[in-house]
A and B are shown apart, each in its own frame.
Chain A
Amino acid sequence: MNQELYTEIILDLYKNPRNRGRIEDFDLEAGGGNPTCGDQVTFTMKINSGVIEDIKFYGSGCAISTASESLLSEMVKGKKVSEAEKITQKELFAELGNIIQTRIKCALLGLEVMKRGIAEYKKRPAEKVSVKGIVV
């Protein structure tokens, strides 16, 4: 029963998160959280000619949100900003595995924060953009 939620993929991504940390000279910083549960995440990205060259994330959250953010960072690294922006819940869950209804919000926190950050970045791509306090 528990295995349905805490799959090997999720446990691995949670215990050994990829791309954890913060890029100091970022081009885009996107941070926010879910006030209901208190989970927080911040992504920092290095973007060159519209391509996400490097990405790191930090924050605090449950296994589901951390695993999802960890996976997401892997999915978008090396991709164009315009591609990252289009990643859907379906695509994310295809890699993460199915998430039970009550925890979907945990799994989508990172995706939502990243998308809203990218939306801001696209308005002024020449600048160093920092979006904080995104409420999901």
Chain B
Amino acid sequence: MAAFLKKEFAMNLKNIRKDFPILKRKINGRPMAYLDNAATTQKPKSVIEAGEKFYENSNANIHRGLNPLSMEATEQYEEAHRKTAQFINADSMEEIVFTKNATESLNLLAYSLGECLEAGDEVLLTKMEHHANIVPWQELAKRKKIKIKYADITPDGRLDMDSLAGLMGKKTKIVSATMASNILGTVNPAKEIAKIGHENGAVVILDAAQAVPHMEVDVKKINADFLAFSAHKMLGPTGVGVLYGNEELLEKMPPFLTGGDMISEVTLKGAQWNKLPWKFEAGTPNIAGGIAFSTAIDYISKIGLENVEAHERKLLAKALKILVNIKGVEVYGPQKGPRTGIVPFNLKGVHPHDVSEMLGRNGVIVRAGNHCAQPLMREMGIEGVVRASFYIYNTDEEIEELARGVMRAKKMFDA
């Protein structure tokens, strides 16, 4: 069955590309090769239209009284929560909070869970984190006088599990780690991280922004307490993020933002919180965005995550093979173990921004710089990298165009 699907996928790549209007555009008269999917993915027509359709047909505020239009909007928005729950095998909608993005999901945790910490408590992170999973905890550390520890990474860019286990202790109250690195593509052993964390009595959080779009993520199998990810990195609109949370913990936690829709009763003396997940969704949310996101989930589900994974693996292998053979190119990331379709590299003697500029002028869109992970860059002893990252609509030809662009930069700079 699986083999059959892969074959079908290969045949369908052309059709898939047709679903994404932007992939038709040209840059400087050349076909665009969009290889910056770790930053944000492109959107299929169905997602773009779902947002429009909502505004044209069903626009109303949600949870606002018993008028038919509001009920329709509410039903669609709640269905988006249910679909998200199903997608990551969560038990119910109660465990799915929509936020603005993964960053807000992590901030929500740092504020709300953080309220329960006391001076001297420890939060364990890793040296592989995106700034979104560092800065909120550093700010919490200032407010609550807690301590942050960072698990090491191995020289080839994997999480050092011995270091992680070694730093865990009685004072460790929270472990928050990336499930897949936004720079190296390293896929961390999420299940093991959760197990070690729980054995030490800590709450376990996974930054899954670079994982959920690219592989099957089953929250029951992984057994972490919280997962944060963003819709826009998985074909959905910007402005929608997800926080999956263990229902029991979400019930106990104080709210993050307060105001309308997150309360059940307000008196002049105080308020009682609404039921989950609305307790954590104060004010009017991004209703159209949430609904459009559910269409993105439909799209990915139709293709099948195993096909997404297989396709990325194929592109990754090709890119690694071609780039490694260009003299002066250094490719980073783990040589063994699972990784997503991300290729970080440098061309000796040429600054990453200049490589990116040269590629961009020929239609190849990549990211260059420190990628919101300065501590990781320092750990690796480099100032920045060029990052090419793939998704379901990328082709072999685009990888070849990337390599040609690198060759052009090499020639231009005589590198």
Q: Give me the interface of A with B, judged by CB distance under 8 Å.
A: 1-2, 5-6, 11, 14-15, 37-39, 60-64, 66, 103, 106
Contacts of A62 in B (CB 8 A): 351-354, 357
Q: What CA separation (Å) do A62 and B361 show in the bound complex?
A: 16
> Judging by beta carbons under 8 Å apart, are B358 and A15 in contact?
no
Q: Shortest Cβ distance from A24 into chain B, in angstroms?
A: 23
| 10 residue pairs A–B, Cβ–Cβ below 8 Å | A2-B358, A2-B361, A2-B412, A6-B412, A11-B414, A15-B414, A37-B353, A38-B369, A38-B370, A62-B352
Q: What CA separation (Å) do A61 and B383 show in the bound complex?
A: 9
Q: Taking the complex as formed, is B28 at the interface, i.e. its CB lies under 8 A from any CB of chain A?
A: yes
> Judging by beta carbons under 8 Å apart, are B353 and A5 in contact?
no
Q: Shortest Cβ distance from B346 into chain A, in angstroms?
A: 12
Contacts of A39 in B (CB 8 A): 353
Q: Taking the complex as formed, is B384 at the interface, i.e. its CB lies under 8 A from any CB of chain A?
A: yes
**Residue-by-residue, is B175-218 near A (CB-CB < 8 Å gives 1, otherwise 0)?**
00000000000000000000000000000000000000000000
Contacts of B370 in A (CB 8 A): 38
For chain B, the bracket of interface size reads 10 to 19
Q: Which single residue of chain A is at the shortest CB-CB distance from B384?
A: A38
Pick the contact of A38: B361, B383, B413 (CB < 8 A).
Answer: B383
Please judge, given known A-B contacts A1-B28, A11-B413, A38-B369, whether A63 and B351 are in contact too, CB under 8 Å.
Answer: yes
Q: Which single residue of chain A is at the shortest CB-CB distance from B382?
A: A60
> Judging by beta carbons under 8 Å apart, are B413 and A1 in contact?
no
Contacts of A6 in B (CB 8 A): 354, 358, 412-413
Q: 8 Å CB contacts to A: which residues of B344-367?
A: 350-354, 357-358, 361
Contacts of B361 in A (CB 8 A): 1-2, 5
Pick the contact of B357: A15, A60, A103 (CB < 8 A).
Answer: A103
Q: Shortest Cβ distance from B186 into chain A, in angstroms?
A: 22
> Judging by beta carbons under 8 Å apart, are A106 and B353 in contact?
yes
Q: Which single residue of chain B is at the shortest CB-CB distance from A63?
A: B354
Contacts of B384 in A (CB 8 A): 38
Contacts of B352 in A (CB 8 A): 62
> Judging by beta carbons under 8 Å apart, are B369 and A63 in contact?
no
Please judge, given known A-B contacts A5-B357, A37-B369, whether A61 and B351 are in contact too, CB under 8 Å.
Answer: yes
Contacts of B412 in A (CB 8 A): 2, 6, 11
Q: List 13 other contacts, CB 8 Å, given A1-B28, A60-B351, A103-B357.
A: A1-B361, A2-B361, A2-B412, A5-B357, A5-B361, A6-B413, A14-B413, A37-B369, A62-B352, A62-B354, A62-B357, A63-B354, A106-B353
**Residue-by-residue, is B322-358 near A (CB-CB < 8 Å gives 1, otherwise 0)?**
0000000000000000000000000000111110011
Contacts of B351 in A (CB 8 A): 60-63, 66
Q: Which single residue of chain A is at the shortest CB-CB distance from B350?
A: A63
Q: Which single residue of chain A is at the shortest CB-CB distance from B352?
A: A62
Q: What CA separation (Å) do A63 and B412 show in the bound complex?
A: 12
Q: Which single residue of chain B is at the shortest CB-CB distance from A6?
A: B412
Q: Shortest Cβ distance from A56 into chain B, in angstroms?
A: 20
When A and B form their complex, which 3 residue pairs have the shortest distance between CB atoms, in order from nearest? A62-B353, A62-B351, A63-B354
Q: What CA separation (Å) do A37 and B357 show in the bound complex?
A: 13
**Residue-by-residue, is B376-394 near A (CB-CB < 8 Å gives 1, otherwise 0)?**
0000000110000000000
Q: Which of A15, A37, A60 has the most CB of B within 10 A?
A: A37
**Residue-by-residue, is B11-41 near A (CB-CB < 8 Å gives 1, otherwise 0)?**
0000000000000000010000000000000
